Amino acid sequence: MKRAFTLLIFLSFLLFLVPSIHAQSNLSTEAKINKLLAQMTLVEKLGQLQQLDGDYQGNARPEQFDLARIGLLGSTLNVRGAKYTNDLQRAALESRLKIPILFGFDVIHGYRTLFPIPLGMTASWDAAMVENSSSIAAAEARSVGLHWTFAPMVDIARDPRWGRIMEGAGEDAFLGSIMAVAQVRGFQGTDLKRQDKIMACAKHFAAYGAAEGGRDYNTVDMSERTLRGVYLVPFKAAKEAGIGSFMTAFDDLNGLPSTANPFLLRQILRGEWKFDGLVVSDYTSVKELIAHGVAADEKEAAMLALNAGTDIEMVSRTYGQNGVELVKSGKVLIKTIDGAVRNVLRAKFRLGLFEKPFVDENLEKTTLKKPEFMQAARDAAVKSFVLLKNEHETLPISKNVKNIAVIGALADDKANTLDWWAGDAKAEDSVTILEGIKQKVGGRTKIRYEKGCELLCDSDKDFDKAVDAARDADFTIIVVGETRDISGEAASRSNIDLPGKQLDLIKAIHAKGKPYAVVLKNGRPLTINWLAENSPAILETWHSGTMGGPAVADVLFGDANPSGKLPITFPRSVGQIPIYYAAMPTGRPLETENRYTSKYLDTPNTPLYPFGFGLSYTTFKLSNLRLSSQNIPKTGKIRFNVDIENTGSRDGTEVVQLYIHDLVASVSRPVKELKGLHRVLLKAGKKQTIEISLDAKDLGFYNAANQYVVEPGKFDVMVGTNSTDGLRDSFSIIGN
Ligand code: BGC
């Protein structure tokens, strides 16, 4: 009895002590973490490493309230909304140590105000715009009680069969890094305690985008040099920008699943890069170590993941169920658990959750869908569009045109204004393309809308109506592409043509010989050879978010001039995949007349549309490339100046791109590598000199020993407006 009484006194003392530790602002974060850790039982520690999934409405499940109350729920995903997060947080603060819950969610390209998909955003080549959109997404997300987004996805992807290509920045490490940094800055800002910032998460570590055959969740076998020199580059950039967390990947890399991969997590991430944030597994990827065939059971799965450095287990529960035994048996050291818990607590301190665990429930009402957010989404969408073809200035359409036909089920389908990763965006907030066109010219122009066929376009029975509409119209806008569910996670395709009979629909309209433009709405490069050859105009608009419709109308009717550039190569056929501009040279480069050179017998080597390509309603001319020097030391810098002139009659933006080729190195280097870019807005007829500079240290690579080196030698440089042609010169890096 006496002992129980003493224990009670001791516990009440602890209760009194705990909040005071949190509030002791003079202690360093690390000291606060240490104090807290010293009071935690092993079971409570394991609770901090558990992340569970809320229900479909965004509320926590009843069991999660129970776990929170006893301090066994460190974080959640998908629980969202100020009320729901506060309710669960209240339960967590009833627990012994009052450690707040970290609320995570996939805020990929917007929370309520939906921006274009990341692949589309990247097509803007505009880091400032991307940073701003992530910052808006962060403000909306934090206002509903979220602290953490599972974004950016910085996986390089060179296989458009892979559905998740839409979630990332495309095929290039340099452009991917710029976009990664922009998103980290936008989501996190400089102070995670702010009520409009959230912690970002670089995913999926690593090489998930290289899934064999483009089939999601598939294996990856890759040289360490390609891994370090291409696939890890945007991750490292995100780390250097101060990202707070990393997520492991579903794939196995060279036989070792990423979630149990000490080479990735301990050697590279913690050892070489000195990352002190937290690492979360992907959804049930700890338990999946069993299916991967590296763990016999859940206990072994937990052991492998913990020892490899996966701090938080998402959804599966192997840590909680086996952690105590693993520590008792010495298979996992308590210092490994403590290290993982430290990373979780550090994130919570950085986010200010101990001081301010709850969100102000009025904030979401005044934050979500602000008019300026909607305007930003519209501007972002405009910048993401890529004009692939525009024969005889088919576009823009004159606003004086009397009759317009709009064709295609995707033109007016609210649900399909959203895409696979639509955050908490609501279809009813979106404006469809048809609505956007009506808002723009509906007052004076007659608009007839015909679907032609349903979304999947498996029947041509209504083609006639669409063809009639096109025949009677002065101009026809045909909207075709992919529905929201055929790109994104678990949405690999072996055929990347326009789905269903959509091409037949276009052909039927084309046969009438009247002017028309094709608007593409899709999440990946498509094989559109017939369109490229026959259709007068093609505008790639991706999945463009809440304000995609008005943005399409802005561009179609010339209120905005398209300036997007492809962040990914468009192949001619699936057989060319993988096809990307930064290819390695071959010992037998293509010679058309010589059979024994590297080529296909049945298709050219070139893509349909190259990386970096995109037209404008105006034209630009580059001239007078100047280099600050022909020779630079390894520690030096080189400046490139070039004149750019808007030679057309409209104002427009061009993206000047700088590519290099390291001619002779100790290992083969790609035939071209993007190393610089400059977006410039020029009034019609105006000319300007722009400058791009490079540090010699950024021209290095991983050598045969997988060490980053800058080797002396000659480099070709090309400055152009896409990856295939431009002004050329060369320079050398000198020294030993
Ligand atoms: C995806 C992750 C995502 C997680 C949580 C997984 O299936 O691979 O990218 O963050 O689910 O929704």
For residue 191, give both structure tokens. Answer: 């102070």
**Inside any domain, residue 727:** yes
**Inside any domain, residue 661:** yes
User: Which residue of 107, 246, 279, 283 sits with most ligand 1 atoms within 8 Å of its CB, as the best mutation to test the pocket?
Assistant: 283
**Inside any domain, residue 184:** no
Phi first, then psi, for residue 462 (nearest 5°) are: -105, 10
pLDDT at 736: 79
208 in contact with ligand 1, CB cutoff 6 A: no
**Inside any domain, residue 443:** yes
Q: Same domain, yes or no, for 560 and 692?
A: no
Which residue segment(s) compose the domain that 504 sits in? 380-576
489 in contact with ligand 1, CB cutoff 6 A: yes
Centroid of chain to Cα 44? 34
User: Contact 111/78 with Cβ under 8 angstroms?
Assistant: no
pLDDT over threshold 60, residue 4: no
Which residue, chain included where needed, has tokens 């009484």? 5
Nearest to 380 by CA among 730, 132, 646, 102: 132
Task: Average the pLDDT over 374-382 and give the result.
Answer: 98
383 in contact with ligand 1, CB cutoff 6 A: no
pLDDT at 56: 86
pLDDT at 540: 99
Whether the bond into 206 is cis, omega within 30 of 0:
yes
**Inside any domain, residue 595:** no
**Cα–Cα distance measured from residue 685 to residue 428, given in angstroms and rounded to the nearest whole number:** 42
Q: Which of 513, 541, 576 is the last residue of a domain?
A: 576
pLDDT over threshold 70, residue 655: yes
User: Contact 349/29 with Cβ under 8 angstroms?
Assistant: yes
User: Contact 151/200 with Cβ under 8 angstroms?
Assistant: yes
pLDDT tens column, 572-586:
999 999 999 999 999
User: Which residue of 149, 205, 489 sits with most ligand 1 atoms within 8 Å of its CB, as the best mutation to test the pocket?
Assistant: 489
| Domain at 414, CATH number | 3.40.50.1700
User: Contact 633/734 with Cβ under 8 angstroms?
Assistant: yes
Q: How far is the CA of 7 from the centre of ligand 1 (A)?
A: 44
pLDDT tens column, 702-711:
999 999 999 9
pLDDT tens column, 196-218:
999 999 999 999 999 999 999 99
Beta strands in 587-672 (DSSP E): 620-627, 631-633, 637-646, 652-662
Active-site residue 282, yes or no? yes
Strand partners, 730: 716
How many CB atoms neighbour CB 247 within 10 A?
27
Q: Same domain, yes or no, for 497 and 638?
A: no
Q: How far is the CA of 546 from the centre of ligand 1 (A)?
A: 22
pLDDT at 13: 44
Q: Same domain, yes or no, for 545 and 649?
A: no
Q: Same domain, yes or no, for 651 and 708?
A: yes
Q: How far is the CA of 283 from the centre of ligand 1 (A)?
A: 6
Q: How far is the CA of 288 from the centre of ligand 1 (A)?
A: 14
Q: Same domain, yes or no, for 548 and 427?
A: yes
* Sequence-distant (≥ 6) Cβ neighbours of residue 270 within 8 angstroms: 309
Q: Helix, strand or coil for residue 536?
A: coil
pLDDT over threshold 70, residue 16: no
Min mean pLDDT across 24-28, 476-480, 688-692 is at 24-28
User: Contact 77/105 with Cβ under 8 angstroms?
Assistant: yes
Residue 582 C-beta-side C-alpha neighbours within 13 Å: 24
106 in contact with ligand 1, CB cutoff 6 A: yes
Task: Average the pLDDT over 600-614 and give the result.
Answer: 98
**Cα–Cα distance measured from residue 491 to residue 216, given in angstroms and rounded to the nearest whole number:** 7
**Cα–Cα distance measured from residue 401 to residue 399, given in angstroms and rounded to the nearest whole number:** 5
Beta strands in 237-301 (DSSP E): 245-248, 252-253, 256-257, 278-280
Q: Which atom of ligand 1 is nearest to the CA of 151?
A: 10
Nearest CA to ligand 1 atom 7: 283
Phi first, then psi, for residue 296 (nearest 5°) are: -80, -30
| Domain at 715, CATH number | 2.60.40.10
Q: Same domain, yes or no, for 558 and 488?
A: yes
pLDDT over threshold 60, residue 302: yes
- DSSP assigned state of 511: T
DSSP states of 117-135: -HHHHHTTT-HHHHHHHHH
User: Contact 357/348 with Cβ under 8 angstroms?
Assistant: no
Q: How far is the CA of 282 from the centre of ligand 1 (A)?
A: 6
pLDDT tens column, 115-133:
999 999 999 999 999 999 9
pLDDT at 10: 46
**Cα–Cα distance measured from residue 456 to residue 65, given in angstroms and rounded to the nearest whole number:** 42
Q: Same domain, yes or no, for 562 and 415?
A: yes
**Inside any domain, residue 238:** no
pLDDT at 26: 79
Which is catalytic among the residues 159, 282, 379, 413?
A: 282
Centroid of chain to Cα 645? 33
pLDDT over threshold 70, residue 377: yes
Strand partners, 639: 693
**Inside any domain, residue 27:** no
pLDDT tens column, 386-428:
999 999 999 999 999 999 999 999 999 999 999 999 999 999 9
pLDDT at 12: 44
Q: Which atom of ligand 1 is nearest to the CA of 104?
A: 5
282 in contact with ligand 1, CB cutoff 6 A: yes
Residue 549: C-alpha distances to residues 10, 403, 554, 680 (Å): 63, 19, 9, 26
Q: Which atom of ligand 1 is nearest to the CA of 201?
A: 10
pLDDT tens column, 695-734:
999 999 999 999 999 999 999 999 999 999 999 999 999 9
pLDDT at 42: 98
**Cα–Cα distance measured from residue 405 to residue 113, given in angstroms and rounded to the nearest whole number:** 29
Q: Same domain, yes or no, for 544 and 689?
A: no
Q: Which of 555, 576, 597 is the last residue of a domain?
A: 576
Q: What angle do CA 661, 665, 667 make, to 5 degrees?
A: 105
**Inside any domain, residue 646:** yes
Q: What residue type is 309 in one-letter code?
A: G
Q: Same domain, yes or no, for 563 and 417?
A: yes
Q: Which of 522, 557, 576 is the last residue of a domain?
A: 576
Q: Same domain, yes or no, for 637 and 513?
A: no
pLDDT at 638: 98
Q: Same domain, yes or no, for 502 and 624?
A: no
pLDDT at 213: 98
pLDDT at 22: 58
Number of domains in the chain: 2
Q: Which atom of ligand 1 is nearest to the CA of 208?
A: 8
Q: Which atom of ligand 1 is nearest to the CA of 150?
A: 10
Q: Are strands 516-521 and 201-205 parallel, antiparallel or unpaired?
A: unpaired
167 in contact with ligand 1, CB cutoff 6 A: no
491 in contact with ligand 1, CB cutoff 6 A: no
Q: What is the 3-state secondary structure (H, E, C) of 25-47?
A: CCCCHHHHHHHHHHHCCHHHHHH
Q: Same domain, yes or no, for 511 and 433?
A: yes
